[in-house]
Amino acid sequence: MNIWVEWFRQEDSKKNTWAQMRESAKWNPPKSTEIHRRYFDKHIDAAEFAKRKNDEGYHASVKSDGAAWYG
């Protein structure tokens, strides 16, 4: 089973209106060339890496190609 993290830069497309209410964010899928991937042996390591990337302002998600026990 393979475990990997995909991440890409998340742009803030929200704009303020005259009443300082924010518009809802619209999902714009990234180009396939902008998506980065890194492979891991353990799910816990992948989750920690994804959290660091999220803290840096990226959109990161942990993915796998099969069912497994993550203990």
Query: What pLDDT score does 12 carry?
Result: 64
Quick one: DSSP state of residue 47?
Answer: H
- What is the rounded CA–CA span in Å between residue 7 and residue 61? 7
| ∠ Cα 50 52 55 (to 5°) | 110
At 5, the amino acid letter reads V
pLDDT digits (tens, 9 = 90+) for 17-69: 566 666 666 778 889 999 999 999 999 999 999 999 999 999 999 999 876 66
Q: Residue 10 — very low, low, confident or very high, per pLDDT cuts 50/70/90? A: confident
**pTM confidence score:** 0.73
Choose between 67 and 1: higher pLDDT: 1
Query: What pLDDT score does 21 carry?
Result: 64
